[in-house]
Structure 1
Amino acid sequence: MQKVYQRVCAAEAWIASVFLIVMVILIFLGGVMRMLGHPINWSTDVSTALFAWACFLCADIAWRKNSMMAIEVFANRLPDKLQTALRMVNYALITAFLFYLLVMGAYLSWISRVRSFQGIPEVSYSWVTMSLPVGAALLIVTTALKVRGELRGERAEYRAVDVI
């Protein structure tokens, strides 16, 4: 099961990076072509769809690598058992919110299945809105693994974020 999860994580990182690269290329190409008098109108639309997917995939990658911003000035001064309890409460709140996103995102995808994406008749808007429940599901798995690690006594160290 661990190997499957590692492959999913690798695929997620690869897909997210490809989406970000393609998005940047499309936006740049769209600007250049518009300047040359031959605009590519669909480049912004496709970039928007790729951005939605990349946001959720990158959020899961950052959450998995403990790269999310964390403010622990108060929490670090608490006793270890209280810090663990506080993290578990945070994980419970995060999981509840993610389940809400999963359910409502699936509902949004279902009701928008007949809507065309940016007026393109062959492409359903659900392809964009499915980024929400898929991303939420990935984040739920990551959060569950964090809870499991916490219950095993493995404390995840957060990376320090420099504030300029």
Structure 2
Amino acid sequence: MPTPGEIDLAEDIDKAQVAIKAFEIDYAVKYPKAVAKITDDADVLLEFIRYPAEHWIHLHTTNPIESTFATVRLRTKVTKGPGSRAAGLAMAYKLTEAAQARWRAVDSPHLVALVRAGALFHKGNFSNGPSRSPRPITGHARIRGRLTNPQSTGFDDSS
């Protein structure tokens, strides 16, 4: 019996699609909503395969936002609240800034520029085929232990 983990850990898109089909066959009667969600959103679920294999571990993260703000939440609870909105924002900023020193850096940071430029990766490996349009980056990228500006391309200082 296939599990959702087999879909997520597939080494290429073909094996992932086979795992999705097997999951659908085995669980459609018992869990129709779950199967519908996985089959309807398969392209989004399998998007990680189009990235370098070295980055897959970062893309399999379950809740990066929760982990980022765990330190802030804990410290806010201990101090029984910040007192004012401005103090709360300042405290959250400083705690997040201090916590980023302990965050795990991206594996193979040299591939980040290729990903941002829209390079193609097939089965997790770089492909010299035609590139696709760059993905919009909505958050900060983590490179070598520090935050980078998501709008900066790294090619010039005008962005």
Bigger share in helix: 1
- RCO greater where, 1 or 2, for CA within 8 Å and sep 6 or more? 1
- Pick the TM interval, shorter chain: under 0.3
TM-score by structure 2 length?
A: 0.28
TM-score by structure 1 length?
A: 0.27
